[in-house]
Chain A
Amino acid sequence: MSASVLYDAPGPKAVVRNRIYAVVGSLAIVALIAVSIMRLADKGHLAPEMWDIFNYAGIRQNIADAVLATLKAFGLAAVGSLVLGVLLAVGRLSDHKPVRWVATTFIELFRSLPLLITIYAIWVGFLTDYSMWALAAGLSVYNGCVQAEVLRAGINSVPKGQSEAAYALGMSKTQVMTTVLMPQAIRSMLPTIISQLVVTLKDTSLGFIILYPELLQTARLIASNTQVNGQYPYVSTIVVIGTIYIAMCLLLSALATWIEKRGRRAKTGIKVAPGVQTADIPTVEAVPGPEAGGAGGAGSTADGAAGAGVTKD
């Protein structure tokens, strides 16, 4: 922490003061956690019986099924959103005004609406008996719009000379798009695309509301159907399910970071967008540049507004 905008390298006095803050701060945090744990223990949430429920084969099977259901919806939504994203991005960059207009309206509308509203409307209106497809369709529509904006930013960041050169070689617009622009855009935006996929994965939990038996819905069912010591094991279930969610998301984020690092090493000359900051480096990092809210910000501030930053460049 020697070089930071806010703090100079500490002198002897500051070192002492920082130590005091460190001790007081950690005490406060530990106290907060301890009080919470004590309160939970008082109410019997930490009793061994509460956690014993996860030893039953039935409940384990339920959780495994739920993870599978979550991954199924996520897989469908991931493929759907990427395909839709490519289509919409191409539509937005089309030479034909009506196509451009339709794509833009579609993107702007569904990106600025709450995902839950879209999913619910699709479920009630069209796919009442197929909650998985309703969830996947809603997620695809929303995330497709966000991915389209990410891809568009990627296409726009390819140097203009490349497409000019391709046209000069006599390539058609389709050829330029599929062989020159798209591959480079996808490659440079891969970290951002994957961090949007993390958002998609998190959003599968909205299936909870349309009664799709995914992880969260199952957690709720387990917690409200089993009674231990006259209480419902919400705390233990939430801890277990939460851990599973966080682990899945961190794995995907780690993939994004890994790809980003790999992309940085390759010398292809195209800048790779900064992906998620997995928050493993507590120190102040290098200046990310004035467009922190741009492509990079889309990854890290992601949730929902992801594309908004991208559009501005």
Chain B
Amino acid sequence: MNVLLDNFPAFRDGFIGTVSITAVSSLIALVLGVVVAGFRVSPVPPLRFFGTAWVTLMRNTPLTLLFLIFFFVVPEILFPGMSPFVLGSLALGFYTSSFVCEAVRSGINTVPLGQAEAARSIGMTFAQTLQIVVLPQATRTVIPPLSSIFIALTKNSAIAGAFSNAELFGWQKLMSDKGYDIVPVFIWVAIGYLIITFTISGLFRLLERRMEVAR
């Protein structure tokens, strides 16, 4: 208990750090993942190829390596002096985007072909088919896998802590450097993560129930 009470401000900063890097990189992953999924299902071969290459590369690269790339290579290409928070969120977001892309793509693919054909045959335009028929069904299928993807993202954000971001792993490191016993430190960090992941899965369950329809 002492570990927490004596170092509460640092713990709070760590907790907030984890929450904020998770939130920012989730947003990046979601936007990028949907765009890449759009590429992968598009009828344009080069875009499809780009999407496939993106997913294959991102999924087979260790996240730690991706972090190294974002901290040592990307600043050389873009501009130097980006903050670790930005670089970390970008690395996490890019990595997770490949998983989001696959979830969205399989979500779109679960919509039976006949539905879209029926929509087209009664004269709906592409936008209408997408908005009224395909997307509402695809969204429902995508929600459960997305929930586990974002929980994985939360857990992966610990790596950002090893790359000079203030978050819970950084707190664990700091406390063990200060010589506190690792077991209570571990327990407090665990509780911090459990709070975040339970919140995410709770939110998604709520969303799922909201959007539930009989099929």
Contacts and interface: CB of A to CB of B under 8 A. Distances in A.
Contacts of A117: 158, 168-169, 172, 186, 189-190, 193
Contacts of A289: 110
B171 to A, nearest CB: 10
Given A115-B155, A117-B190, A287-B110, A301 B145 contact: yes
Interface in B25-73: 40-52, 55-57, 59-65, 68-69, 72-73
Interface stretch (A84-92, A98-106, A181-189, A238-246): A238-246
9 closest Cβ pairs, A-B complex: A305-B148, A304-B152, A114-B158, A205-B62, A125-B182, A293-B145, A249-B60, A308-B148, A305-B152
B149 interface: yes
Contact of A304 (B40, B51, B151, B168): B151
Size band of the interface chain B makes with A? 35 or more
In terms of DSSP, what is the predominant structure of the interface of chain B?
A: helix
Given A203-B62, A234-B73, A238-B73, A112 B68 contact: no
B76 A45 contact: yes
Interface of A: 1, 3-8, 10, 14, 18, 21-22, 25-26, 29, 35-36, 39-40, 43, 45, 109, 112-117, 120-121, 124-125, 198, 202-206, 208-209, 216, 219-220, 223, 234-235, 238, 241-242, 245-246, 249-250, 253, 277-280, 282-290, 292-293, 297, 300-301, 303-306, 308-309, 312
Contact of B46 (A22, A125, A205, A245): A22
A245 B55 CA distance: 15
A126 B144 CA distance: 37
A115 B159 CA distance: 9
Interface centre among A4, A35, A285 (most CB of B within 10 A): A4
Contact of A125 (B50, B108, B168, B183): B183
Interface of B: 40-52, 55-57, 59-65, 68-69, 72-73, 76-77, 99, 102-103, 106-113, 115-116, 120, 126, 129-130, 134, 141, 144-145, 147-149, 151-152, 154-159, 161-162, 168-169, 172-173, 176, 181-183, 185-186, 189-190, 193-194, 197
